[in-house]
Structure 1
C-alpha cells in the first residue's frame, strides 16, 4: 500500500513540476516583447541606427562597391533619403577625399539634437585614407557644425573606428577601434584626442571566429560594442569576437595616466559575443550574435536574461532608444559574405 501511495505522490509531483515549467515557459513567451519592423531595404547593408525626436537615421559602410549612400534618414513610407544631401553621399573609390563627403561611415549617434557621424575613412578595409573623422550635424538646420579629425597618435593605418558614445556632461566622446584594438577619447570642446588601452587584453579579440548554426564565421574583431553609463560615470566595452565585458571609470579615461587606466579596467561579466550595446535605466542591452538574441544585464544585480530572440534578430548591430522603444538594425554580417543583392536588411523595434 505504501508503495502505491509513493508512486501516486511521485506522479503528482512530476505533473506539478511539468505544469510549473510549462507555465514559466508560457509566461516567458507572453512577456517577450513583440518585434516590429520599422523599415527595410534590399541589397544595401546597413549597420548603425539612431533616433532623435522621431527622426530615424541609418548608415551604410563602404564594405563593397558601389553603395547607394553612406547616411540616410528614413522617412514615412520606407523612404531612405540621403542625409544631409546626395552630394555628401556620392563618393566612390578613386575619387578625391574631401572634408565634405562621406567615405566609409560605420556609426551614427544622435545626442542633444546633434548627429555624430563616424567616418572610418577605411573603405573596403584597405587602410585609412587620411584621418578618421567624426562629423557633427545640427538636426535643426541639417548643417555641418563641427568636424573632429583624429590625430595620427590616436589611430593606426589599419584602424577601423567603429562606434561612439557622447558624454555631454563631461564634454567627451568615446570610440572603439575594432581593427586595431583600443579606445579613442575626444575632447568635444578642444577637439584633442588620445588613444588608450592600445592592444590591451580588454580591447583585444579573444578568438578569431564566431559560430552560427555549427559553422564558423572566421574573423577577428577587437573592441567594438560600447555603452556609457552617464549617471555612474562608467564606460562599458566589449570585443566582438570575445565573451568578456569590461568597464572603466570615465574620469580615469579622461585624467589618468595610461598605466593608471590599464590598472583601472574592471571585468564585469562573462557574456555572449555582442555587437550593439546600450544602457537604459540601469540595464545594459546587448546582442547575442551567435544565438540571434538581444540580452539584458542588470548592472546592479548582474543578472542576465533574454529580451527577445528568433528570426527577427539577425546580427543585432546597433541600438538606439527613444520613448522606451529599443531600435536595432539587422546587419546580417554572418550571411553577407558574397552577393547581397537579394538580402533584406531591416530596422526593428521593441517596447521595453
Structure 2
C-alpha cells in the first residue's frame, strides 16, 4: 500500500462505552468519533445539508497530500476534492490559478462549497491574492473564484475563516496574522469576479490578540494569533469575532461593516470567555466555542450563560465546527501537541448532540 493510500485510508468509528454504559469522556455529553486520518493535520470541517462531510489540511509543512477532501461515508477514505488535479499545488507550494495552494477553511452554504485559500503557504507571506473557490455541490464543478483586492489583505495576512451573508450580499472573514476583518461584496451576477473587498477594524483592539501564549496541560504554547473565530447571527444581523490568544468575545451589527463606515465606534464587548479557535451559532442562538486550554467545548446561550457541552480526551484543540441534523461536528487539530513530524499522529472528526436533543 502506498504512503498516500495509507494516509488517505481511515476507519469509521462508533461510540465506545464503558461497562456501565457511560462514555470514557468526563464531560456532560459524549463525543463520537466520525472519522480519522493519520499523518495529515486537518483543521476545517463542514457538513452539507445532504450530510456530505468536507475537511481541509492547511499548507503548514512539506508532504501535505491534499488541501480539501471529502470523507467517503461508506469507506471512510479522505478523497481529494473535487479531484487530485485541483489539489496538486499543495505538494510543491506552487502558486497557480487552477489549484489550491494554502487552504484554511471550508464552508458549505446553499448547496455550494466555499474554499478559503490564504495563498500564504507555511506562513511565509502572501504570494498572490487570497481567494475563495466556490463549487456547485450538485455538479462538483468550480463555479467562481472570488479574489480579494489589494484593499482586502496585507502581505503578511492569513485569512482564516468566513461566513456568508446572502441577504447583505457579503462574505465576512477574519485575518489571524494581521488583525482585522475582511468584507467581500458579492456581485449581483453569477459570472466572473465582480465583487470588491475591503478591511474593517484593521489593527483594532477588538481584532488584536490579548497575549502571546496559551497555557495547556501546564505548558506554554507560545504564539500570537489575532482575529480567528467568527460567527454570524443572520436573524439579528450581528457578527461575532474573537482572537485565538485572547479572552474577549466581540460583536458588531453588520450594518456598520461598510467600506466608508466607522466600525470602531460600533464594536461592543460581549463577554469574557475562554480562549477559542473557531465558533458557530445554532438556530436557537447558542454560540459554540472551545476552551483550548482546558480541553472543552462550551456554549453561550441567548441569556448569556455559559455551559460545558463536552470535555475530556476527545477534545484536543477543537478547531472548527459545523452543525448538521442535531449534531455539532468538530475537528481536533492538536496544534498544541505538534512539535515535529506528525506521521504517527491521528487527526479526527467528532460529533456531539446539540443541547436539549
Contact 2:65 2:90 survives alignment (8 Å): no
CA distance in 1, matches of 2:272, 2:165: 26
In structure 1, what is the equivalent of residue 28 of structure 2? 32
* Residue of structure 2 in register with 1:285 after alignment: 288
Tell me, in whole angstroms, the C-alpha distance in 1 between the residues paired with 2:26 and 2:226: 36
Deviation at 1:123, TM superposition (A): 0.5
Q: 1:270 aligns with which of 257, 265, 272?
A: 272
Q: Does 1:301 align with 2:303?
A: yes
Say whether residues 1:74 and 2:78 are aligned partners.
Answer: no
Q: How many Å separate the matches in 2 of 1:338 and 1:319?
A: 26
Query: Following TM superposition, by how much is the alpha carbon of 1:339 offset from its aligned partner in structure 2, in angstroms?
Result: 1.1
Q: Distance in 2 between matches of 1:243 and 1:31?
A: 22
Aligned to 1:102: 100
Q: Look up the match of 2:138.
A: 140
User: In structure 1, the residue corresponding to 2:258 is in which secondary structure?
Assistant: helix
Distance 1:60 1:330 in 2: 12
Structure 1 equivalent of residue 339 of structure 2:
337
Residue in 1 that maps onto 2:42: 46
* 2:19 matched residue in structure 1: none
- The 2-side partners of 1:212 and 1:239 are apart by 17
Equivalent residue, structure 1, for 2:207: 203
Q: Evaluate the alpha carbon distance shift between residue 227 and residue 95 of structure 1 in structure 2; reply closer, same or farther with a 3 A threshold.
A: closer
Alignment match, 1:319 = 321
TM-score (norm 1): 0.89
Compute the displacement of 1:179 (Å): 0.4
Alignment of 1:52-67 (within 5 A): 52=48, 53-67=50-64
- Rounded to whole Å, the distance in 2 between the matches of 1:345 and 1:192 is 36
Shift of residue 169, structure 1, vs aligned partner: 1.9
SS in 1 for 2:229: strand
CA distance in 2, matches of 1:118, 1:351: 27
- For residues 212 and 321 of structure 1, the distance between their equivalents in structure 2, rounded to whole angstroms, comes to 27
The equivalent of 2:350 in structure 1 is 348
- 2:230 aligns with 226
Distance in 1 (CA, whole Å) between partners of 2:92 and 2:278 is 31
How many Å separate the matches in 2 of 1:210 and 1:294?
16
Q: Distance in 2 between matches of 1:321 and 1:96?
A: 34
Q: Look up the match of 1:9.
A: none
The alpha carbon displacement at 1:170 in A equals: 1.6
Q: d(CA) in 2 for partners of 1:226 and 1:84? A: 26
Structure 1 position 245, deviation (Å): 0.3
Maintained 8 Å contact 2:26/2:311: no
Shift of 1:191: 1.5
The separation in 2 between residues aligned to 1:159 and 1:272, in whole angstroms, is 25
1:192 lines up with 2:188 in the alignment: no
1:10 aligns with none
RMSD of aligned Cα (Å)? 1.5
**Alpha-carbon distance in 2 for matches of 1:66, 1:124:** 12
The superposition leaves residues 280-303 of structure 1 with CA deviations (integer Å, 9 ceiling, x where unpaired) of 1110000110000000001x3110
Give the TM-score, by structure 2 length. 0.88
Matched position secondary structure for 1:254: coil
Match of 2:330 among 315, 328, 331: 328
Tell me how far apart the structure 2 counterparts of residues 54 and 93 of structure 1 sit (CA, whole Å): 29
- Aligned counterparts of 1:92 and 1:164: Cα–Cα separation in 2: 21
Q: Deviations over 1:189-245 (max 9, x none)?
A: 242111110000000000000001111000000000000000000000000000000
In 2, Cα distance between equivalents of 1:31 and 1:161 = 33
More helix per residue = 1
2:67 and 2:138 mapped to 1: Cα distance? 20
CA distance in structure 2 between the partners assigned to 1:109 and 1:95 by the alignment: 23
Q: Distance in 2 between matches of 1:172 and 1:309?
A: 35
Between 132-141 and 91-100, report the one with greater CA deviation. 91-100
Any gaps of 5 or more consecutive residues in structure 1? 1-25
The structural deviation recorded for 1:31 is 8.6
The structure with the larger Rg is 1
